[in-house]
Structure 1
Amino acid sequence: MATHDVNTADSTKDVRTIDKVVDVIATTAPEIRTGLPGRRVASEEENPSGETQMAADVFADDLLCERIGALDGVSEYASEERPEAIDVGSGNLSVAVDPLDGSSNLKPNNTMGTIFAVYDAPLPAHGRDLVAAGYVLYGPVMTMIVARKGSVDEYVIYDDSSYELVREDVTLPDEGTVYGFGGRVPDWTEDFENFAREVEQDASRKLRYGGSMIGDVNQILSYGGIFSYPGLRSAPEGKLRVQFEGYPIGYILETAGGASSDGTQSLLDVDKDELHARTPVHIGNESLIDDLEAALE
């Protein structure tokens, strides 16, 4: 099965720490967004995945590291921009972030986001160690999705760093109407290409793919459907990092009543012991994820 019960924090102290992490993400997001215009250039460094860092990546990572690392109850901080997790204090919880998902969209001024995951274990952790996850979407309106305590909520974040709950207990629509598939089509496997062509044949579905995973995921959460960044002929593990993208996105979608998969199992059951390990990512309505797993058998 592609969906399972998701983990939630048990202790009152851990719940308070999660609330503080969410608050830091929300109140830092306007500063990250305001700092983007002057940082749309490449830095001189590569991140641990071999990708050229943008100045905005480094800026967002530094802000989040400083502020999350200062929280009581957080023991480790890790990001896509750092080779290793760093000790930041004492406590039970570790926080992993993608500070600026889709930073390649800075040049064409398209959607970007910040992804965060809170684990009740040292990093690298397992998907079943997640106790909260979420993301900020830097769209026309700045919004934040948070999965915790078995529910998914949506907030609007304002420029003055205040934020407001606008939807509680967000769930995937029953009928999925959008789809988006990453990777170069000539690099898809035959089985995945056949599945993708079947999805495209349904006239009720519309293609939505913007080059920022978090923007594409938010489309699925809003309208239902399926998003995939599959394993490729040249990269069987795909492109997305399991700690920073696969686990938290799987957690959010499953908490919202959807499903996630690496092609054979829930993303939360993927077992990788390296901080920057990659995994194929498929999320969406359970029926579509079941069809995908059947196609890839």
Structure 2
Amino acid sequence: MTMSDVVPVADVFDALAAAAPEIRAGFAGRAGETDDHNATGDRQLHADIHADELLRAHLGGLDAVGQYASEEAEDVSDVGTGPLSVSVDPLDGSSNLGANNPTGTIVGVYDAPLPAAGSDLVAAAYVLYGPLTTMVAATDDGATRYAITPDGRRDGEPADLPDEPTVYGFGGRVPDWTADFTDYARRVEDELKLRYSGAMVADVNQVLTYGGVFAYPGLRDRPAGKLRTQFEAIPMAYIVEAAGGASTNGTRSVLDAEPETLHERTPVFLGNDALIERAERALD
């Protein structure tokens, strides 16, 4: 990332921090389903649409942003003439709202048109709507954790992955796991504590806080898994790697991905280096 990119990327982080309290305030009364589906067939909640509208307004209105792509929409939107493109999962884990469990927002910032490769990513961030609202933002200089208040982001401190892993969270139904992944999972279960919420942001945040591994593997009937390469996998892998961890799709870093379509999916493993290396050996 060049020095000329620093201010535009900071503007994206500030815009996300400004949108987050509005998104959170909009949860009340919006946990119900609409009659619509997103681009990959998931039933949309009113909260999904509300979060997308707010983020489009905040991020799409920046001078530095030329393209806006949402997991909730089929196609990329041209929103300006700026050099940056943003990919947004407006409300990760939105189905958790019904049980009052954590949700999040994921944003990737690319200096190329979408769909874009992991090598085109220049920054990424996620917001966690938990007991507190927090944001972890990453550039090539590292990852930083912020508290989010109505006045924006504050109290930034390094978000460094602990050296000693403590927790794990694996997605997908156990009967749908492949034999190789099941063997890997059983070994991890003997060593670490289970922490899985159904929201990728919340589960990866646990890993960044305590050390460990998050995975949504390829499944028997869905070899590409569930998570979207552009909207979830690449940005979250970038954050974990910036925090000192590693990522893989089973054979190589998620950041080596070059998605051909906007909504394609990929297996994802994120966490401490040794656990990611073990996953690659198990799945080889």
TM range (shorter): over 0.9
Q: Does 1:162 align with 2:149?
A: no
1:246 matched to which residue of 2? 233
Q: Does 1:262 align with 2:249?
A: yes
Distance in 2, matches of 1:201 and 1:157, equals 36
2:168 to 165, 170, 179: 179
> What percentage of aligned pairs have identical amino acids?
55
> Post-superposition shift, 1:11?
4.1
Runs of 4+ that moved beyond 3 A: none
Q: Is the 8 A contact 2:140 2:242 kept in 1?
A: no
Q: What are the within-5 Å matches in structure 2 for residues 222-241 of structure 1?
A: 222-241=209-228
Distance in 2, matches of 1:272 and 1:80, equals 14
Paired letter, 2:10: D
Distance in 2, matches of 1:177 and 1:256, equals 16
Q: Does 1:20 align with 2:11?
A: yes
2:2 matched to which residue of 1? 10
Give the number of equivalent residue pairs: 284
Distance in 2, matches of 1:34 and 1:161, equals 14
- Structure 2 unaligned residues grouped into runs of 5+: none
TM-score by length of 1: 0.94
Q: Does 1:44 align with 2:31?
A: no
| Deviation digits for residues 13-34 of structure 1 (CA, Å, limit 9, x no counterpart) | x221111111110011001000
1:279 to 266, 270, 277: 266
Moved more, 65-74 or 54-63: 65-74
| Deviation digits for residues 87-121 of structure 1 (CA, Å, limit 9, x no counterpart) | 01112110011000000101111000010000010
2:142 matched to which residue of 1? 151
2:55 matched to which residue of 1? 64
1:106 matched to which residue of 2? 97
Distance in 1, matches of 2:140 and 2:49, equals 31
1:197 matched to which residue of 2? 186
Name the SS of the counterpart of 1:39 in structure 2: coil
Paired letter, 1:10: T
Distance in 1, matches of 2:189 and 2:182, equals 10
1:4 matched to which residue of 2? none
Distance in 1, matches of 2:151 and 2:20, equals 8
Q: What are the within-5 Å matches in structure 2 for residues 57-96 of structure 1?
A: 57-96=48-87
- Structure 1 unaligned residues grouped into runs of 5+: 1-8
Larger RCO (CA within 8 A; separation ≥ 6) = 1
